[in-house]
Amino acid sequence: MNQRAEFTASLEQSAFWMPFTANRQFKKAPRLLARAEGMYYWTPEGRQVLDACAGLWCVNAGHCRPKIVQAIQQQAAEMDFAPTFQMGHPIAFEFAERLAAIAPERFKRVFFTNSGSESVDSALKIALAYHRARGEPGRFRLIGRERGYHGVNFGGVAVGGLGANRKLFGPGVAGVDHLRHTHDVARNAFSRGQPAHGAELAEDLERLCTLHDPSTIAAVIVEPVPGSAGVLIPPVKYLERLREICTKHGILLIFDEVITGFGRLGKPFGSQRLGVMPDLFTIAKGMTNGTVPMGAVIVRDDIYDAFMHGPEGIELFHGYTYSGHPLACAAGIGALDTYEEEGLLERAASLEKHWENAIHALKGERNVIDIRNFGLMGAIELSPRQGAPGSRGYNALVKCFEAGVLTRYTADTLAFSPPLIVEKAQIDRIFETVRTVLQTLE
């Protein structure tokens, strides 16, 4: 038995229970990554793989960037951990100020978490506590959206709208309802940028307000652009109408910007690109360039002030052992330095048209039923195989990896979100590889 075969055989009994993975299938034919730099991964055998999805939507500045690596190394040698319960350390305050500086106006308060999932649960709790702090404890309902993904903690799963993420775990959090999703292939297939049809779906929120009484609704949470559901671009004027309805009824609007933050749409945050301001928003992934797990909730100043005007003492009974972890803060500052020095938070805007033309050039290829793009996000939706939904998307993922391009799949949709350092020639290579794969895929 050769070395690779021996290693593969050992994986089948590995202790590692892999997340969001068909463990038995994967361990029989593993796809392993051993090294990374810039736009590329390398397999243990030394084969180069072009990263077309920024790791997992998170490596926005590319892999192993020197400033970030050095910042983590230096901080680990100086101070590995410090608590932020009744204590503090300077780098957490510094990083919060740096984030506030690129946030929209009037969003200058940052609550640190350790992941996008924790950011969502924290945002939901802040929303509930805010209404209680201002004398409206009857606002307890939370509204999510079908096909939304908000992480895997109980709050995020409850407001999320992906059936596979919910069906094993029971009802979860009570008092949750969902808006209809906006994905409409019949009317919007092959839209470039925001689709023309679907703004009227925001009126679904008025329906839920009538059903539940708006005075019981604390918050609505949506992704500006749902990523994990397959890059579902918001229709023109849809988010604007959600904002209007929330304002009318005193409901907080939460944007989940875990994916759309840090340059993915050509601005620091998706709200800035789309011109619609939430009341609070969640971030993670790109805030440390994926190097050290970290997330945050950024809140509007007056929401923070509502807590500060209450009785003396702890204003919000919430937090995590690793909130504002020194290594994560150092990584985040290194990431912001890299983004700023290389203009990466705006770079997607200069590449968007080339990206759009390259991905839409696959219209007409076998089994392609829709193509979508916005910023440096894109998706190619394939028709499902009869009786085996998702298998065509998975097969395309495997064949792309074998051909040297790492992508993502959700059911029968291939999703793309390359590091923001991507060059036009690399964009062309991504979609020419996908074209070749689609032409050979049954």
Taking the C-alpha atoms of residue 251 and residue 215, their distance in angstroms, rounded to an integer, is 8
pLDDT in tens, 63-122: 999 999 999 999 999 999 999 999 999 999 999 999 999 999 999 999 999 999 999 999
Tell me the C-alpha to C-alpha distance, in Å, between residue 22 and each of 352, 385, 403, 441, 442: 34, 19, 22, 21, 22
Report residue 8 as tokens: 């593969």
- Percent of the chain whose pLDDT exceeds 90: 94
Q: Using the predicted structure, report yes or no on whether residue 3 has a pLDDT greater than 80.
A: no
pLDDT in tens, 106-123: 999 999 999 999 999 999
Sheet holding 217-222, edge to edge: 109-113, 295-299, 280-283, 252-256, 217-222, 141-145, 176-179
pLDDT in tens, 212-271: 999 999 999 999 999 999 999 999 999 999 999 999 999 999 999 999 999 999 999 999
Pairing of strands 217-222, 252-256: parallel
0.85 surpassed by pTM: yes
Report residue 51 as tokens: 């990263």
Evaluate the CA torsion angle 93, 99, 104, 109 in order and state its sign: negative
One-letter-per-residue 3-state SS of 5-44 = HHHHHHHCCCCCCCCCCCHHHHHHCCCCCCEEEECEEECC
